[in-house]
């Protein structure tokens, strides 16, 4: 128990979960101390079952059935239990000894019972514990070699009917159903352990279909059934390792499973996990079937993914490219994916040609994947082809005409020492667009943003005056020119503040207060403080019923 300390809890949980765990100390209840473990319930969003293992093989560890804990994380609920136990650390050795004594006493008592007495005891538990009864029924059917009975019990365990209302399992009942489905998976796994791996393979595949159908009617928001699906896939793999099924049959099943939309990825099986079981003969059949399926449906997502996965595993970059090239996206996204694959294969010249082709093939440069544009320009820059990078950025800007595209063109042109000429053309394009599209509710002219970004304040102000700007652009302009043109800025602030006085809400009050502070600063710069005092007095008188606004003004000395 040497590793059990606050520092150990912090190291396992991380600073954030550790600090959040401190806030749950009052939520811990039902603490039970065993020999090497402590369990409790912690009340959070739900009531969670929490267990700390104090001195296991890997040292201090824990499990919690909250969503974060189910992902394998040491959560805040575990921290809360750990801190609760540490607060009573002096009594922990005594409690552990008492737990050991109780376990020994129980074991001694059970060992002294006759067979008939033990049967009575087990039957009593079976009558009270439905889950125990089902587990024992499955074990009995397995021991008899009664596959039909095992299959029937597994179907019962996967049936949603006992948990469903109107054919659907709600969130509140999803955990209970997942627990029951997990019993079915455990029972199938037990078949492998008892030497009946062939039966386990058969039942696993049947269970996959049943679970895939069930999950459509279960609110699995917390991912309980998703974990059952993962466990079921692992169970199938272990059964195949033990049974060594026919490689060709296994290959056909794996391809069929990967391409079947009934499962919809619920039991996420990677055919390459079976590589050692398939052997060279099985892998040959697997590749052949995958290629046939892909050629029959080159745009099918499952077919493309399977082919891509097999091609990458085989190190065949051209097979990967063939998969992508069979369904090239007009946005250039697939061209970029091909370029990345070729880069990985250390074929940079071919990668560059595919990236260039992506731009050339694009029907609409405004819709092209910006990552492709960035990739191509980076490659041109690395190769000292600066004029080519500028040309791509220029074409992209002309198609999109956004502030970001303008900034990227500016960066490329400055690197090529041709920004002045590029800037004139870019601003002319933005000005023409601004004259055609007046400011609207969704934004003002990009021209104003570009001039502001260039720190061309006089030009931005003049453009806003001539063409128009939205309120946010005017506010930005006023903030930037206020030190040198306070009178102009003051007019903007007054215009923006006026409509806010007719609205309510804390967000509105914060905006109005910010504007009033700017108005006061303008008056101070102009030496007209008395005018501001008169203005503010009148405003407060008219807004006095807005108590939150008055409080905010007081806080800022207004």
Residue range 419-441, pLDDT digits in tens:
999 999 999 999 999 888 766 55
Q: Is the dihedral of CA 536, 537, 540, 541 positive or negative?
A: negative
pLDDT one-digit tens code per residue, 109-168: 988 889 988 888 888 888 887 777 777 777 777 777 778 888 888 898 888 888 888 889
Q: Which own/partner contact pairs does 317-324 have at CB distance under 8 Å and 24+ positions apart?
A: 317/341, 317/342, 317/344, 317/345, 317/347, 323/294
Copy the structure tokens of residue 17: 């979960």
pLDDT of residue 262: 54
> For 297, left (φ over 0), alpha (ψ -120 to 50), or beta?
beta
Percentage helix, strand, coil for the chain under 3-state DSSP, each rounded to 5: 70, 5, 20
Residue 541: CB partners within 8 Å, gap ≥ 6? none
Burial call 296-310: b when 16+ CB within 10 Å, e when fewer: eeeebebbbebbbbb
pTM higher than 0.85, yes or no? no
Nearest to 370 by CA among 334, 331, 328: 331
The pLDDT value recorded for residue 342 is 92
Burial 363-397 (b: 16+ CB within 10 A, else e): eebeebbbebbebbbebbbeeebbebbbebbbbbb
Tokens (6 digits) for 149: 């009975």
pLDDT of residue 519: 94
Token code pair at residue 269: 């099986």
- Long-range pairs, 526-532, Cβ under 8 A, ≥24: 526/486, 526/487, 526/490
Report d(CA 497, CA 542) in Å as an integer. Answer: 14
| Whole-number pLDDT of residue 475 | 94
The H or E element spanning position 47 is: strand 47-56
Residue 438 has what pLDDT? 67
3-state secondary structure of 261: coil
Q: How far is residue 142's CA from residue 146's CA, in Å, rounded to a whole number?
A: 6
CA gap 238, 236 in Å, rounded: 5
- What is the C-alpha separation between 554 and 451, in angstroms, rounded? 37
Give every residue of the chain whose pLDDT is below 70, as ranges.
1-3, 261-265, 438-442
pLDDT of residue 456: 94
Distances 76 to 119, 222, 223 between C-alpha atoms, Å: 42, 17, 19
């Amino acid at each position: 128990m040497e590793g059990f300390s606050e520092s150990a809890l912090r190291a396992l949980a991380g600073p954030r979960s550790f600090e959040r765990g401190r806030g749950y100390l009052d939520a811990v209840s039902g603490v039970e101390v065993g020999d090497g473990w402590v369990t409790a319930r912690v009340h959070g969003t739900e009531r969670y079952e929490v267990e700390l293992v104090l001195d296991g093989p890997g040292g201090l560890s824990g499990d919690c059935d909250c969503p974060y804990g189910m992902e394998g994380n040491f959560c805040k609920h575990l921290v809360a239990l750990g801190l609760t136990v540490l607060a009573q650390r002096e009594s922990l050795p005594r409690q552990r000894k008492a737990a050991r004594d109780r376990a020994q006493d129980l074991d001694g008592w059970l060992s002294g019972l006759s067979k008939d007495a033990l049967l009575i005891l087990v039957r009593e538990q079976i009558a009270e514990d439905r889950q125990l009864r089902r587990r024992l029924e499955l074990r009995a059917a397995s021991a008899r070699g009664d596959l039909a009975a095992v299959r029937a019990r597994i179907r019962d365990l996967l049936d949603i009917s006992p948990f469903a209302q109107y054919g659907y399992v709600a969130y509140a009942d999803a955990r209970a159903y997942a627990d029951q489905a997990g019993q079915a998976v455990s029972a199938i796994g037990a078949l492998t352990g008892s030497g009946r791996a062939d039966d386990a393979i058969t039942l696993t595949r049947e269970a996959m279909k049943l679970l895939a159908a069930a999950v459509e009617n279960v609110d699995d928001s917390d991912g309980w059934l998703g974990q059952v699906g993962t466990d079921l896939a692992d169970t199938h793999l272990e059964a195949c390792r033990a049974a060594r099924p026919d490689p060709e049959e296994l290959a056909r099943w794996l391809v069929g499973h990967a391409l079947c939309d009934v499962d919809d990825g619920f039991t996420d099986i990677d055919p390459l996990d079976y590589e050692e079981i398939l052997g060279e003969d099985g892998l040959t059949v697997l590749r052949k079937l995958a290629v046939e399926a892909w050629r029959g449906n080159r745009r099918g997502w499952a077919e493309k993914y399977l082919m891509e996965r097999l091609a990458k595993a085989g190190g065949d970059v051209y097979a990967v490219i063939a998969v992508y090239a069979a369904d090239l996206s007009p946005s250039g996204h697939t061209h970029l994916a091909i370029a990345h694959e070729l880069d990985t294969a250390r074929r940079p010249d071919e990668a560059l040609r595919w990236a260039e082709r992506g731009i050339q093939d694009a029907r609409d440069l405004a819709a092209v994947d910006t990552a492709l544009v960035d990739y191509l320009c980076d490659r041109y820059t690395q190769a000292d082809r600066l004029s080519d990078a500028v040309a791509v950025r220029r074409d992209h800007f002309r198609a999109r005409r956004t502030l970001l595209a303008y900034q990227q063109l500016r960066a490329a042109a400055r690197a090529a020492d041709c920004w002045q000429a590029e800037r004139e053309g870019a601003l002319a394009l933005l000005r023409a667009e601004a004259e055609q599209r007046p400011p609207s509710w969704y934004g003002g002219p990009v021209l104003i943003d570009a001039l502001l970004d260039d720190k061309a304040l006089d030009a931005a102000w003049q453009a806003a005056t001539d063409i128009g700007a939205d309120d946010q652009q005017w506010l930005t302009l006023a903030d930037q020119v206020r030190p040198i043109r306070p009178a102009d800025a003051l007019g903007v602030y007054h215009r923006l503040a006026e409509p806010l006085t007719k609205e309510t809400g804390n967000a509105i009050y914060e905006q109005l207060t910010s504007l009033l502070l700017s108005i006061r600063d303008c008056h101070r710069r102009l030496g007209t403080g008395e005018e501001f005092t008169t203005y503010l007095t009148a405003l407060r008188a008219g807004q006095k019923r807005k108590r939150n606004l008055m409080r905010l003004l007081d806080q800022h000395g207004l």
